[in-house]
Amino acid sequence: DESVGSMVKRLNQIGVENTEENRRLYRQLLFSADERINSCIGGVIFFHETLYQNADDGTPFVKMIKDKGIVVGIKVDKGVVPLAGTNGESTTQGLDGLSERCAQYKKDGADFAKWRCVLKISETTPSQLSILENANVLARYASICQQNGIVPIVEPEIPPDGDHDLKRCQYVTEKVLAAVYKALSDHHVYLEGTLLKPNMVTPGHACPTKYSAEEIAMATVTALRRTVPPAVTGVTFLSGGQSEEEASINLNAINTCPLGRPWALTFSYGRALQASALNAWRGQKENETAATEEFIKRAEVNGLAAQGKYEANQDGSGAASQSLFVANHAY
């Protein structure tokens, strides 16, 4: 799902006005996907608004999702705020009253939550402060969630902005994740009841060197093996501006990587699950079925990739191969 602000960008791209009704219609077409979705998608991360919206026939979206056997999650952070004295770095806010909000969301049908922190790579970043502060706020969030029966997805995203190479991203990812797990330990978070939503280890978007999916997979799995304890049950990658096809191919390579992987490695994609669907819809009611179909296709592909069973075909169909990179992406 997307926040109101993010929906603006999505709908702008297809020339659709960002009204609550249009957002509802769009979410409805995704949620009305048939039972093929049930074996590919295990959870949906809702935005606050969506948790309380209904389908045309009055069925709450929460119920539609749960009836498919899919778990309902809720994004609980309140966006990034700058860290003074740093080179454009941020932390994430949303801790105030978080416990009461979690308790309410739990009553309203959510069983997991998501909180996104952002750390960027440059000559001088991520700084010590940024790493410490973001790790700490993620640990506070996770601790509060668990006190309210909500499984926290911990998301320390390192966006691909920049021209750094694969190694630099791997180095930074390892440092960030080591700090995150130290903070989770310090805050007494029950690791077996958390999920991690990291970036894959990739070169910067503007890096001149190209890398294969296998190189990305090896760098990603190595970084995770060095930092994520086996007690963590699952790792759900963010797509971070990769095209739909790239995100699937990389996930597949990750799941066929020869290194030992004690956690499930799967997807938590926004842009990389929805781009084709949005394109097919273009806000037109008569396109709804076709749009839903695009979404199901993408979900099935990623379901296979999460098992290392996806065989990419070469058709390179338009929207699936289009980069979804947006500089300084804010959800």
Partner 1 sequence: DESVGTMGKRLQKINVENTEEHRRQFRQLLLTSDPALSNSIGGVILFHETLYQKSDTGVLFPKIIKDAGIVVGIKVDKGTAALAGTDGETTTQGLDGLGERCAQYKKDGADFAKWRCVLKISDCCPSSLSIAENANVLARYASICQQNGLVPIVEPEILTDGDHNLQRCQYATEKVLSAVYKALSDHHVYLEGTLLKPNMVTAGQACSQKYTPQEVAMATVTALRRTVSAAVPGICFLSGGQSEEEASLNLNAINQCPLPRPWKLTFSYGRALQASTLATWQGKPGNTKAAQTTFSTRAKINGLASKGEYKPSGQTDQSATQSLFSASYVY
Residues noted as catalytic: 155, 197
Least distance from partner 1 to the Cβ atom of residue 232, Å: 9
CA distances, 46 to each of 2, 92, 112, 223, 265 (Å): 7, 18, 10, 29, 21
Closest contact distance (angstroms) between CB of 182 and partner 1 is: 4
Rounded CA-CA distance 81/121 in Å is 17
Q: Which is nearer to partner 1, 130 or 248 (CB)?
A: 130
> Min. distance of Cβ 283 from partner 1 in angstroms?
46
| Minimum gap (Å) between residue 185 Cβ and partner 1 | 4
Cα dist. 162→197, 206, 215, 314 in Å? 21, 6, 19, 29
Nearer to partner 1, 102 or 189 (CB): 189
Give the nearest distance from C-beta 132 to partner 1 in angstroms: 12
**Residue (of 241, 242, 248) closest to 305 by Cα position:** 248
| Tokens coding 327 | 């500089």
Instruction: Encode 50-77: b = buried (16+ Cβ within 10 Å), e = exposed.
Output: bbebebeeeebbbebbeebebbbbbbbb
Please say whether the beta carbons of 218 and 257 come within 8 A. yes
Cα–Cα dist 274/284, whole Å: 16
The Cα 276–Cα 66 span in angstroms is 25
Q: Which helix H or strand E contains 45, and what residues bound it?
A: strand 43-46
Q: Which residues bind partner 1 (CB under 8 A)?
A: 174-175, 178-179, 181-182, 185-186, 191-192, 222, 225-231, 260-262
Choice between 229 and 316, CB closer to partner 1: 229
Pairing of strands 43-46, 234-237: unpaired
CB crowding 247-256: b at 16 or more within 10 Å, else e: bbbbbbbbbe
Residue number with CB closer to partner 1 (88 or 229): 229
Least separation in angstroms between CB 167 and partner 1: 13
What number of other Cβ atoms are within 10 A of residue 46's Cβ?
26
Q: Which is nearer to partner 1, 9 or 261 (CB)?
A: 261
Distance CA 326, CA 95 (A): 27
C-beta of 133 vs 174, nearer to partner 1 = 174
Residues 6 or more apart whose CB falls under 8 angstroms from that of 134 comprise: 91, 92, 117, 118, 119, 156, 176, 180
